[in-house]
Amino acid sequence: MNARMAVLAGDGVGQEIVPEAVKVLKAVGERFHHTFEFVEGLVGGQALDRVGVPLPDDTLALAKESDAVLLGAVGGPKWEGLEYRLRPERALLGLREQLGLFANLRPAKLYPMLADASTLKREVIEGIDLLVVRELTGGIYFGKPKGIEKTADGERGVNTEVYTTEEIRRIAKVAFEAARKRRRKVVSVDKANVLESSELWRRVVIEVHKGFPDVELTHMYVDNCAMQLIRNPKQFDVLVTTNLFGDILSDEAAMLTGSIGMLPSASIGATAGMYEPIHGSAPDIAGKNLANPIATIASAAMLLAYQLRLDKEAEAVERAILLTLEQGYRTKDIQSPGGKLVGTKEMGEAILRNFLQG
Protein backbone atom coordinates (compact mmCIF):
# COMPACT_ATOMS: atom_id res chain seq x y z
CA MET A 1 0.00 0.00 0.00
CA ASN A 2 1.05 3.58 -0.71
CA ALA A 3 -0.21 6.25 1.68
CA ARG A 4 0.57 9.90 2.30
CA MET A 5 0.18 11.20 5.85
CA ALA A 6 0.05 14.82 6.99
CA VAL A 7 1.98 15.13 10.25
CA LEU A 8 0.84 18.08 12.37
CA ALA A 9 2.68 18.00 15.69
CA GLY A 10 1.27 21.33 16.87
CA ASP A 11 2.06 22.78 20.28
CA GLY A 12 3.39 21.75 23.67
CA VAL A 13 3.90 18.01 24.10
CA GLY A 14 2.70 17.47 20.55
CA GLN A 15 6.27 18.18 19.47
CA GLU A 16 7.47 15.22 21.56
CA ILE A 17 4.76 12.58 21.20
CA VAL A 18 4.07 12.75 17.46
CA PRO A 19 7.65 11.82 16.46
CA GLU A 20 7.34 8.64 18.56
CA ALA A 21 4.18 7.65 16.68
CA VAL A 22 5.82 8.42 13.32
CA LYS A 23 8.72 6.11 14.22
CA VAL A 24 6.25 3.28 14.80
CA LEU A 25 4.39 3.98 11.55
CA LYS A 26 7.68 3.95 9.63
CA ALA A 27 8.48 0.58 11.20
CA VAL A 28 5.03 -0.69 10.17
CA GLY A 29 5.76 0.31 6.59
CA GLU A 30 9.11 -1.48 6.59
CA ARG A 31 7.85 -4.64 8.28
CA PHE A 32 4.71 -5.06 6.19
CA HIS A 33 6.13 -3.67 2.93
CA HIS A 34 4.03 -0.51 2.64
CA THR A 35 5.21 2.84 1.34
CA PHE A 36 4.26 5.62 3.74
CA GLU A 37 5.11 9.25 3.02
CA PHE A 38 5.13 11.71 5.92
CA VAL A 39 4.76 15.45 5.24
CA GLU A 40 4.96 17.89 8.13
CA GLY A 41 2.80 21.00 8.44
CA LEU A 42 2.28 23.90 10.84
CA VAL A 43 -0.85 24.12 12.97
CA GLY A 44 -2.08 25.87 16.12
CA GLY A 45 0.15 28.22 18.08
CA GLN A 46 3.24 27.18 16.14
CA ALA A 47 1.56 28.32 12.93
CA LEU A 48 0.28 31.48 14.55
CA ASP A 49 3.77 32.48 15.66
CA ARG A 50 5.28 31.84 12.25
CA VAL A 51 2.64 32.91 9.74
CA GLY A 52 -0.02 34.72 11.78
CA VAL A 53 -2.92 32.23 11.54
CA PRO A 54 -3.61 28.94 13.38
CA LEU A 55 -4.53 27.03 10.22
CA PRO A 56 -2.44 28.16 7.22
CA ASP A 57 -3.74 27.54 3.72
CA ASP A 58 -0.73 25.31 3.02
CA THR A 59 -1.56 23.10 5.99
CA LEU A 60 -5.21 22.80 4.99
CA ALA A 61 -4.21 21.93 1.43
CA LEU A 62 -1.77 19.30 2.76
CA ALA A 63 -4.50 17.75 4.90
CA LYS A 64 -6.92 17.61 1.98
CA GLU A 65 -4.32 16.03 -0.31
CA SER A 66 -3.27 13.36 2.22
CA ASP A 67 -4.76 9.97 2.99
CA ALA A 68 -4.78 10.72 6.73
CA VAL A 69 -3.78 13.36 9.26
CA LEU A 70 -1.77 12.56 12.39
CA LEU A 71 -2.20 15.40 14.88
CA GLY A 72 -0.52 16.13 18.21
CA ALA A 73 -2.09 18.93 20.24
CA VAL A 74 -2.71 22.67 19.97
CA GLY A 75 -3.00 25.61 22.33
CA GLY A 76 -1.50 26.88 25.54
CA PRO A 77 -1.49 29.87 27.92
CA LYS A 78 0.74 31.85 25.55
CA TRP A 79 -2.14 32.33 23.10
CA GLU A 80 -5.14 32.51 25.46
CA GLY A 81 -5.46 36.30 25.32
CA LEU A 82 -5.90 36.42 21.55
CA GLU A 83 -9.21 37.18 19.88
CA TYR A 84 -11.34 34.13 19.28
CA ARG A 85 -10.66 33.70 15.54
CA LEU A 86 -6.90 33.56 16.14
CA ARG A 87 -6.80 31.07 18.98
CA PRO A 88 -4.93 27.82 18.18
CA GLU A 89 -8.04 25.72 18.87
CA ARG A 90 -9.71 27.30 15.83
CA ALA A 91 -7.38 25.15 13.73
CA LEU A 92 -9.06 21.99 15.03
CA LEU A 93 -12.53 23.25 14.22
CA GLY A 94 -11.33 24.37 10.80
CA LEU A 95 -9.80 21.00 9.97
CA ARG A 96 -12.90 19.13 11.11
CA GLU A 97 -15.18 21.36 9.09
CA GLN A 98 -13.05 21.51 5.93
CA LEU A 99 -12.35 17.78 5.91
CA GLY A 100 -15.95 16.88 6.73
CA LEU A 101 -14.95 14.95 9.85
CA PHE A 102 -18.38 14.51 11.37
CA ALA A 103 -17.70 11.48 13.60
CA ASN A 104 -15.24 11.31 16.48
CA LEU A 105 -14.52 7.83 17.86
CA ARG A 106 -13.00 7.73 21.33
CA PRO A 107 -12.40 4.28 22.81
CA ALA A 108 -11.86 3.90 26.54
CA LYS A 109 -10.46 0.51 27.41
CA LEU A 110 -8.71 -0.37 30.64
CA TYR A 111 -5.37 -2.14 30.35
CA PRO A 112 -5.56 -4.72 33.18
CA MET A 113 -2.12 -3.85 34.55
CA LEU A 114 -3.18 -0.20 34.97
CA ALA A 115 -6.24 -0.83 37.13
CA ASP A 116 -4.51 0.68 40.14
CA ALA A 117 -3.73 3.89 38.22
CA SER A 118 -7.42 4.83 38.24
CA THR A 119 -8.87 6.80 41.12
CA LEU A 120 -11.85 4.43 41.20
CA LYS A 121 -12.04 1.05 42.90
CA ARG A 122 -10.68 -1.90 40.92
CA GLU A 123 -14.01 -3.74 41.03
CA VAL A 124 -15.73 -0.75 39.41
CA ILE A 125 -13.36 -0.32 36.49
CA GLU A 126 -12.03 -3.80 35.69
CA GLY A 127 -13.33 -4.84 32.28
CA ILE A 128 -14.12 -1.36 30.98
CA ASP A 129 -14.29 -1.37 27.18
CA LEU A 130 -16.48 1.37 25.75
CA LEU A 131 -16.57 3.63 22.71
CA VAL A 132 -17.85 7.20 22.67
CA VAL A 133 -19.12 8.24 19.23
CA ARG A 134 -19.25 12.03 19.26
CA GLU A 135 -20.88 14.15 16.56
CA LEU A 136 -18.15 16.56 15.54
CA THR A 137 -19.26 19.22 13.05
CA GLY A 138 -22.65 20.33 14.36
CA GLY A 139 -24.20 21.41 17.60
CA ILE A 140 -23.32 24.35 19.77
CA TYR A 141 -19.72 24.67 18.54
CA PHE A 142 -20.85 25.48 15.01
CA GLY A 143 -24.44 26.72 15.37
CA LYS A 144 -25.38 30.29 14.47
CA PRO A 145 -26.05 32.94 15.66
CA LYS A 146 -23.01 33.08 17.90
CA GLY A 147 -20.82 35.77 19.37
CA ILE A 148 -20.61 38.50 21.99
CA GLU A 149 -22.60 41.71 21.57
CA LYS A 150 -22.91 44.94 23.47
CA THR A 151 -26.04 45.58 25.50
CA ALA A 152 -27.32 48.47 27.58
CA ASP A 153 -26.14 46.70 30.73
CA GLY A 154 -22.86 45.26 29.45
CA GLU A 155 -22.45 42.37 27.03
CA ARG A 156 -24.37 39.31 25.88
CA GLY A 157 -22.76 36.01 24.81
CA VAL A 158 -24.68 33.76 22.42
CA ASN A 159 -24.11 30.21 21.20
CA THR A 160 -26.73 28.19 19.37
CA GLU A 161 -27.32 24.43 19.55
CA VAL A 162 -28.46 23.32 16.08
CA TYR A 163 -28.87 19.85 14.58
CA THR A 164 -30.45 18.70 11.33
CA THR A 165 -32.00 15.35 10.56
CA GLU A 166 -29.14 14.36 8.27
CA GLU A 167 -26.44 15.29 10.80
CA ILE A 168 -28.10 13.09 13.40
CA ARG A 169 -28.83 10.27 10.97
CA ARG A 170 -25.25 9.87 9.78
CA ILE A 171 -23.69 9.86 13.27
CA ALA A 172 -26.30 7.38 14.51
CA LYS A 173 -25.44 5.10 11.60
CA VAL A 174 -21.75 5.22 12.54
CA ALA A 175 -22.62 4.25 16.12
CA PHE A 176 -24.84 1.32 15.16
CA GLU A 177 -22.27 0.02 12.68
CA ALA A 178 -19.55 0.26 15.33
CA ALA A 179 -21.75 -1.61 17.81
CA ARG A 180 -22.17 -4.47 15.35
CA LYS A 181 -18.41 -5.07 15.63
CA ARG A 182 -18.57 -4.95 19.43
CA ARG A 183 -21.26 -6.05 21.92
CA ARG A 184 -24.22 -4.70 19.94
CA LYS A 185 -25.40 -2.18 22.54
CA VAL A 186 -25.90 1.56 21.91
CA VAL A 187 -26.81 4.21 24.45
CA SER A 188 -27.92 7.48 22.87
CA VAL A 189 -27.19 10.40 25.19
CA ASP A 190 -29.26 13.59 25.01
CA LYS A 191 -31.24 16.10 27.07
CA ALA A 192 -34.60 15.56 25.39
CA ASN A 193 -36.53 16.58 28.50
CA VAL A 194 -35.24 20.15 28.14
CA LEU A 195 -33.77 20.80 24.67
CA GLU A 196 -35.72 20.76 21.42
CA SER A 197 -32.54 19.86 19.53
CA SER A 198 -32.28 16.77 21.73
CA GLU A 199 -35.94 15.95 21.11
CA LEU A 200 -35.16 15.80 17.40
CA TRP A 201 -31.95 13.88 18.14
CA ARG A 202 -33.86 11.15 19.96
CA ARG A 203 -36.54 10.85 17.26
CA VAL A 204 -34.00 10.48 14.46
CA VAL A 205 -31.86 7.97 16.37
CA ILE A 206 -34.96 5.84 16.96
CA GLU A 207 -35.76 5.98 13.24
CA VAL A 208 -32.21 4.97 12.20
CA HIS A 209 -32.29 2.12 14.71
CA LYS A 210 -35.03 0.42 12.67
CA GLY A 211 -32.32 -0.53 10.18
CA PHE A 212 -30.26 -2.20 12.92
CA PRO A 213 -32.67 -4.58 14.69
CA ASP A 214 -29.74 -6.72 15.89
CA VAL A 215 -28.42 -3.83 18.01
CA GLU A 216 -29.96 -2.90 21.36
CA LEU A 217 -30.79 0.81 21.76
CA THR A 218 -31.44 2.67 25.00
CA HIS A 219 -31.59 6.39 25.81
CA MET A 220 -30.07 8.29 28.68
CA TYR A 221 -30.08 11.94 29.74
CA VAL A 222 -26.59 13.40 29.78
CA ASP A 223 -26.54 14.22 33.50
CA ASN A 224 -27.54 10.66 34.37
CA CYS A 225 -24.96 9.31 31.92
CA ALA A 226 -22.22 11.35 33.60
CA MET A 227 -23.20 9.78 36.91
CA GLN A 228 -23.50 6.25 35.50
CA LEU A 229 -20.01 6.44 33.97
CA ILE A 230 -18.68 6.71 37.50
CA ARG A 231 -21.15 4.40 39.21
CA ASN A 232 -21.15 1.51 36.72
CA PRO A 233 -19.04 2.13 33.61
CA LYS A 234 -19.05 -1.54 32.58
CA GLN A 235 -22.70 -1.25 31.53
CA PHE A 236 -21.68 0.76 28.43
CA ASP A 237 -20.61 -0.51 25.04
CA VAL A 238 -21.17 2.32 22.52
CA LEU A 239 -22.36 5.80 23.49
CA VAL A 240 -23.50 8.19 20.75
CA THR A 241 -24.06 11.84 21.53
CA THR A 242 -23.77 15.46 20.49
CA ASN A 243 -20.66 17.55 20.02
CA LEU A 244 -20.76 19.27 23.42
CA PHE A 245 -21.92 16.27 25.46
CA GLY A 246 -19.41 14.01 23.72
CA ASP A 247 -16.57 16.41 24.43
CA ILE A 248 -17.29 16.24 28.15
CA LEU A 249 -18.27 12.59 28.52
CA SER A 250 -15.30 11.25 26.55
CA ASP A 251 -12.86 13.06 28.85
CA GLU A 252 -14.70 11.64 31.85
CA ALA A 253 -14.51 8.15 30.33
CA ALA A 254 -10.80 8.66 29.70
CA MET A 255 -10.06 9.18 33.37
CA LEU A 256 -11.73 5.88 34.25
CA THR A 257 -8.75 4.19 32.63
CA GLY A 258 -6.23 5.96 34.83
CA SER A 259 -4.84 8.66 32.56
CA ILE A 260 -6.03 10.84 29.73
CA GLY A 261 -2.57 10.23 28.25
CA MET A 262 -3.58 6.68 27.33
CA LEU A 263 -6.48 7.23 24.99
CA PRO A 264 -6.54 7.76 21.22
CA SER A 265 -9.22 9.10 18.92
CA ALA A 266 -10.25 8.97 15.29
CA SER A 267 -12.19 11.70 13.49
CA ILE A 268 -13.67 10.30 10.31
CA GLY A 269 -15.84 11.49 7.45
CA ALA A 270 -16.11 11.01 3.73
CA THR A 271 -12.38 11.11 2.87
CA ALA A 272 -9.21 11.59 4.94
CA GLY A 273 -9.52 11.09 8.68
CA MET A 274 -7.68 12.83 11.50
CA TYR A 275 -6.10 10.82 14.30
CA GLU A 276 -5.00 12.37 17.59
CA PRO A 277 -4.66 11.75 21.32
CA ILE A 278 -7.57 13.19 23.27
CA HIS A 279 -5.37 15.09 25.72
CA GLY A 280 -4.23 18.68 25.25
CA SER A 281 -0.85 20.30 24.74
CA ALA A 282 0.09 20.06 28.46
CA PRO A 283 2.38 23.12 28.41
CA ASP A 284 3.39 22.53 32.04
CA ILE A 285 5.34 19.41 31.08
CA ALA A 286 6.24 20.29 27.47
CA GLY A 287 9.90 19.88 26.59
CA LYS A 288 10.64 17.85 29.73
CA ASN A 289 10.42 14.32 28.28
CA LEU A 290 7.52 13.55 30.63
CA ALA A 291 4.53 13.18 28.28
CA ASN A 292 2.97 9.78 27.68
CA PRO A 293 3.18 8.92 23.95
CA ILE A 294 0.90 5.88 24.17
CA ALA A 295 -2.28 7.75 23.20
CA THR A 296 -0.59 9.08 20.07
CA ILE A 297 0.86 5.70 19.11
CA ALA A 298 -2.56 4.13 19.70
CA SER A 299 -4.04 6.85 17.47
CA ALA A 300 -1.59 5.75 14.79
CA ALA A 301 -2.96 2.22 15.22
CA MET A 302 -6.48 3.57 14.70
CA LEU A 303 -5.22 5.31 11.56
CA LEU A 304 -4.01 1.97 10.25
CA ALA A 305 -7.27 0.22 11.09
CA TYR A 306 -9.92 2.81 10.23
CA GLN A 307 -8.26 4.78 7.44
CA LEU A 308 -6.04 2.28 5.65
CA ARG A 309 -7.95 -0.91 6.54
CA LEU A 310 -4.71 -2.51 7.75
CA ASP A 311 -6.15 -4.48 10.64
CA LYS A 312 -3.22 -6.88 10.99
CA GLU A 313 -0.77 -4.00 11.21
CA ALA A 314 -2.93 -2.13 13.73
CA GLU A 315 -3.18 -5.22 15.93
CA ALA A 316 0.62 -5.58 15.87
CA VAL A 317 1.02 -2.02 17.17
CA GLU A 318 -1.59 -2.59 19.88
CA ARG A 319 0.17 -5.79 20.95
CA ALA A 320 3.46 -3.88 21.24
CA ILE A 321 1.78 -1.31 23.52
CA LEU A 322 0.29 -4.06 25.70
CA LEU A 323 3.59 -5.93 25.94
CA THR A 324 5.43 -2.75 26.91
CA LEU A 325 2.99 -2.16 29.75
CA GLU A 326 3.24 -5.80 30.82
CA GLN A 327 7.01 -5.32 31.04
CA GLY A 328 6.39 -2.59 33.60
CA TYR A 329 7.30 0.52 31.63
CA ARG A 330 5.48 3.56 32.99
CA THR A 331 5.51 7.28 32.28
CA LYS A 332 4.85 9.56 35.24
CA ASP A 333 1.08 9.81 34.67
CA ILE A 334 0.63 6.04 35.04
CA GLN A 335 3.46 5.42 37.51
CA SER A 336 2.88 2.54 39.90
CA PRO A 337 4.93 0.87 42.66
CA GLY A 338 7.55 -1.41 41.12
CA GLY A 339 7.12 0.02 37.63
CA LYS A 340 9.98 1.18 35.41
CA LEU A 341 9.62 4.95 35.30
CA VAL A 342 10.60 6.25 31.85
CA GLY A 343 10.23 9.39 29.78
CA THR A 344 8.51 10.09 26.47
CA LYS A 345 11.36 8.91 24.27
CA GLU A 346 12.10 5.83 26.35
CA MET A 347 8.46 4.72 26.29
CA GLY A 348 8.34 5.24 22.53
CA GLU A 349 11.56 3.27 22.08
CA ALA A 350 10.25 0.40 24.20
CA ILE A 351 7.07 0.14 22.16
CA LEU A 352 9.04 0.32 18.90
CA ARG A 353 11.40 -2.39 20.12
CA ASN A 354 8.54 -4.69 21.06
CA PHE A 355 6.89 -4.05 17.70
CA LEU A 356 10.07 -4.92 15.80
CA GLN A 357 10.51 -8.09 17.84
CA GLY A 358 6.87 -9.12 17.47
Q: Based on the residue annotation, tell me whether 141 is a catalytic residue of this protein.
A: yes
From the list 40, 37, 29, the residue with the least C-alpha distance to 4 is: 37
Residue of 11, 23, 67, 141 marked catalytic: 141
∠ CA 132-273-79 to the nearest 5 degrees?
85
233, 264, 353 from 328: Cα distances, Å: 26, 21, 14
8 A C-beta contact, residue 319 and residue 358: yes
Q: Based on the residue annotation, tell me whether 306 is a catalytic residue of this protein.
A: no
* Residue 255: CB atoms within 10 Å: 17
Residue 181 backbone phi and psi in degrees, to 5: -95, 0
Residue of 11, 67, 237, 247 marked catalytic: 247
8 A C-beta contact, residue 324 and residue 347: yes
Residue of 58, 223, 284, 311 marked catalytic: 223
The dihedral of CA 349, 350, 351, 356: what is its sign? positive
Residue of 67, 190, 191, 275 marked catalytic: 191
- The whole-angstrom separation of Cα 55 and Cα 102 is 19
Residue of 173, 234, 251, 332 marked catalytic: 251
Q: In the chain, count H helices and then E strands.
A: 12, 14
- The whole-angstrom separation of Cα 158 and Cα 180 is 39
Q: Based on the residue annotation, tell me whether 58 is a catalytic residue of this protein.
A: no
From the list 15, 34, 64, 93, the residue with the least C-alpha distance to 316 is: 34
Q: Based on the residue annotation, tell me whether 275 is a catalytic residue of this protein.
A: no
- Rg (alpha carbons) of the chain, rounded to whole number: 20
Q: Is the peptide bond before 145 cis (omega within 30 degrees of 0)?
A: yes
Element (H, E) at 90: helix 90-99
Q: Based on the residue annotation, tell me whether 129 is a catalytic residue of this protein.
A: no
- The whole-angstrom separation of Cα 195 and Cα 187 is 18
8 A C-beta contact, residue 18 and residue 296: yes
Element (H, E) at 5: strand 2-10
From the list 8, 14, 167, 158, the residue with the least C-alpha distance to 84 is: 158
**Residues labelled as active-site residues:** 141, 191, 223, 247, 251
